[in-house]
Amino acid sequence: MKPIKVMVIDDSALVRKVLSEVLNSDPDITVIAQAQDPVFAMQKMKNEMPDVITLDVEMPRMDGITFLKKQMAEHPLPIVMCSSLTKENASTAIEALRAGAVDIITKPEIGVKGFLEESAIRIIDAVKAAAVARVRKHNTAVINVEPKRSADIMLAKSTHAMSETTDKIIALGASTGGTEALRQVLSAMPAMSPAIVIVQHMPEKFTTAFANHLNELSAIEVREAVNGDRLYVGQALLAPGGKHMLLKRSGAQYHVEVVDGPLVSRHRPSVDVLFRSVARYAGANAVACIMTGMGDDGATGLKEIRDTGGRTFAQDEATSVVFGMPQEAWKRGAAEQLIALQDISGVLLGACRA
C-alpha cells in the first residue's frame, strides 16, 4: 500500500514542523509539502496533489474556511481542520464540518508534556480516516486500526444487566463523518423521544459548540454532558471531548458519569466505554447504533448490549463516510441490522416501541 500523501497548511512554521514530524513518524503517511497559507498551497498542488490536507483555521491572505469551501467546490479532497482550543475556533470548526471538512484535530501545544503521546495518536488516526473518507463516490478501502486498550480499564465486564425498567435508552456512537450523521438523526427525533446518550470522537471544547449546534436544529434538548446529569425524555447528552462518559442508574433513574481516564480503543471519549455501561445499566431497555467512523471503537460494547437483550444496529456502507466502525460491529455479530442513515431515527424509535 502506498503511503498517504499529506499537505500541512499552517501559518506557524513551528506547528508545521511538529505536525509533519508526528505524521511522518507513521510508516503509512508521508508529508509531501508544507505551506504557510492556502495561496502557497494552491501553487504547490499544481505540482503534486495530496491525498489529505491538514488545514489551519486562521491564516493570512486566505482563511481556512474560504479555502475549504473553494477546494470542496472545485476539487474535493479530504481535509482535516487543525484548530487551537478556543471558543471562537470551536464554532468555526463546526462550520468547517458543515462545509465538508472530514474531521477536527487540535493544534499541537508546543512544549506541553505528554502531547506527543495521546494527541499524536489522534492526529495520525484522523489523517488515516480522512484518506478513506467518501469525499468522492469511490474509495471505500478501510485501513485497520488496532486499539490500545479495551473498556476493561474503565468498567469491568458484567455477566448480567440490571433488572429492566420501563424507560428506554438510545445510545449512539460515531467518529469520522459522524457530525453530519448525528445532525441528520437528531434533527429527525420528536420532542418526546427516549433519552439519548452519544459519543462522537471530537477534541475537548469542540463538543460544546457541536452540542449547541445540534440543539439549535433539533426538537429535543441536546447539550454537552456534565458529571451527574440525569437523563430525561426528550433530551440527548453528548460526551465531552477529552472525557469518558458512562451511563449509571439509581433505582429507576438514569444518570451519567463523566470521568477522566486513559484512551480506550484509542479514544477518549470511547464508544466502547459508553456502550459497556449501557449494557450493564440498561440491558434489554437499550437501543444502540454504531455509526460512521474509522477503526473498531464501539464494536465490543455494541455486542455486549446485544448479548444483554438490547436492540443493536449499525449504519450501512453506502451512507457511511467511513465504513470502519459499523463494518467491524457487523463482522462481530454485534449489530442485528445495517441501516441507511436516513432511516436510523425511525428504526431506533420503532425499536424503542417494540
C-beta of residue 313 within 8 angstroms of C-beta of residue 348: yes
The owner of cell 502557497 is: 40
C-beta of residue 4 within 8 angstroms of C-beta of residue 125: no
- Among residues 10, 125, 272, 297, the one annotated as catalytic is 297
Rounded Cα–Cα distance for residues 80 and 93 (Å): 10
> What nine digits make up the cell of 280?
450493564
Give the three-class secondary structure for 279.
Answer: helix
C-alpha distances in Å from residue 221, one per residue of 195, 213, 350: 10, 11, 20
- Among residues 20, 175, 218, 277, the one annotated as catalytic is 175
User: What element of type H or E holds 308?
Assistant: none
Rounded Cα–Cα distance for residues 284 and 164 (Å): 7
Environment class of residue 237 by beta-carbon count within 10 Å: exposed (0-12), middle (13-18) or buried (19+)?
A: buried
> What nine digits make up the cell of 71?
477546494
Altogether, the residues listed in the chain come to a count of: 354
> What nine digits make up the cell of 231?
437523563
User: Nearest CA to 148 among 172, 125, 127?
Assistant: 125
Instruction: Look up 201 and say whether it is catalytic.
Output: yes
339 CB-near residues (< 8 Å, 6+ apart): 289, 313, 314, 315, 316, 347
Amino acid 15 reads: V
Give the three-class secondary structure for 314.
Answer: strand
C-beta of residue 305 within 8 angstroms of C-beta of residue 279: yes
Environment class of residue 148 by beta-carbon count within 10 Å: exposed (0-12), middle (13-18) or buried (19+)?
A: middle
- Among residues 20, 84, 125, 201, the one annotated as catalytic is 201
C-beta of residue 298 within 8 angstroms of C-beta of residue 315: no
Instruction: Look up 297 and say whether it is catalytic.
Output: yes
Which residues carry out catalysis? 175, 201, 297
